Amino acid sequence: MFASPKHFFGGVALMVAFAIVLVAMFLPIFDGRNALDYMDSLFNSVSKGSAYYVADLKAEAEDQRGNAVAVRLAVASETQARQTAELFRAGGATVKVAEAELRVSGDLGGILGRCLQDSDEMFANAGAGVRDRYGYEERRVLFNWWTALKAMDEDLKRQNRFAEAAFVVKVREKAVECAYNYYGIEPWKVSDKIGVVLFSLVFYVVYTVWYGYAIILTLDGWGLKLSH
């Protein structure tokens, strides 16, 4: 019935074992989480440990002290405009709000310095201070900063102030985005979890090859072969 019963049943045994391990990976046996959630959390923590740029950006923001800017920023709603106005005022800027548009004038270093401080606190998972400072949810604060800096970049480019626009983009991407995405995640260095990281990488390779051999042996034992 089979071209090679040994290969066929060996392949079936490998496939059954593969399925058992796969089912186990979806069980909440890792501190109440399944293996995928646990590894996702681990690698997020490891990547957070190497994604901190705020300190360097703060130093660059100090170089922008005394660099006056005046920009018009359009946002999605009047509520967002009012919330965003408080962010700029905290950075020492003068802000006029007209419906969903802001007219901001102030020191670029002061404005971005305030943004970086908020981002720094959020990156350190100290969002309570940010929430208390502005009176609304801390993630929304970063979202408003991100939206405002995007509009600020566009208006500065319109004014041909490309160097300032480039730095605004840098702050948005390396500080605000990172702080938003990593908020609530505890940072780890690779060296802190080197054993688990190496095991997961080796397991991924072995598990993939395992599945491939299970299919090859099963088909070979059944007598199916590839040919031109």
In this structure, the strands spanning 94-98 and 101-107 are antiparallel
* pLDDT above 90: residue 146: yes
Query: Looking at the predicted structure, is the pLDDT value of residue 228 above 80?
Result: no
Alpha carbon 175 to its chain centroid, in Å, reads 11
Cα distances (Å, whole numbers) of residue 149 to 86, 112, 145, 162, 187: 14, 9, 6, 14, 26
**pTM for the full predicted model:** 0.77
Average pLDDT estimate for 173-182: 96
Which of 175, 180, 189 lies closest to 43, judged by CA?
189
Closest among 224, 211, 92, 111 to 171, alpha carbons compared? 111
Cα 99 to Cα 18, 129, 134, 218, 224, distances in angstroms: 60, 28, 20, 68, 71
pLDDT of res. 216: 87
At residue 145 the predicted structure's pLDDT band, cuts being 50, 70 and 90, is very high
Work out the mean pLDDT of the chain and round it to a whole number: 91
Pairwise CA distance, residues 197 & 37, whole Å: 14
Burial (CB < 10 A; 0-12, 13-18, 19+), residue 46, is buried
Q: Which of 51-55, 108-112, 121-125, 137-141 has the lowest mean pLDDT?
A: 51-55
